[in-house]
Amino acid sequence: MRITLCTAAALAVIASANAYAQTGNGAPNGPHYNLNIIGVSHDKSPNMATGSGNVIFVGLGTKSTTVSTKILLSESTDGSFDVLDKNGTDGEASFALPAPGSYTVWARALGTPGGQAKMTTCATDIALTGTDAGDVICSTQNEVFVRGTGKSSFRNVTSALTTITLVAGSPAALACGSTTVSLFNSCLEGFFWQYDNNGLKLLQVRFYPNPS
């Protein structure tokens, strides 16, 4: 499934005069792009490392064993959301989305109770590339999703999934001129979500266009 913000925004106006009225599951009303991150216990076939659909497969892990997957992020210039590589069981998947500002992000944990996962936005620090200090930096802010018993509700995770919070005074913060850097800011490169899975079978992520 591929949807653009322009299409979604137009549909939102037609569908509802109050696009951000809450639904029974905690998410806003209205059209959206839905991304399912599915934890699996066995690797998928390499020939699944292609796009299409709205699913990304990642390693499942257990309560005591973490499986980490990089979901590589690229900027779509036409406002679309699109899975480019759905097979993350080899350690990497990829997803295209617009630069932040025209949408919000909501997520909830589903599947068998007991699993949890953590998502952190990371990038490459251009100033550190090729040095002994390493070149990957991750936000000090993250979101932890726990599948408990009973009903699971969406919550707004826009900040954690579209910005990187840097340590004050760090080389990256000084180079960027701020401790908060938006996704695809040119002072960093190689953006990705680090998905650390401890047995969560399904994370449902929704992208809603801002109401006009």
pLDDT digits (tens, 9 = 90+) for 24-52: 788 999 999 999 999 999 887 666 666 66
Q: What is the CA radius of gyration of the chain?
A: 17
pLDDT of residue 171: 85
Which burial class, exposed, middle or buried, applies to 27 when counting CB atoms under 10 A from its CB (0-12, 13-18, 19+)?
buried
Backbone angles phi, psi at 8, to 5 degrees: -65, -40
Tokens of 152: 């699971």
pLDDT of residue 172: 86
User: What's the total number of domains in the chain?
Assistant: 1
pLDDT of residue 51: 65
CA atoms of 110 and 188, how far apart (whole Å): 33
Which alpha helices (H) appear in the chain, and where do they start and end? 5-15, 158-162, 171-176
Q: What is the pTM of this model?
A: 0.85
> Which helix or strand (DSSP H or E) is residue 103 part of?
strand 103-110
Under 8 Å between Cβ of 78 and 7: no
Tokens of 212: 């006009």
Range of the domain at 163: 3-209
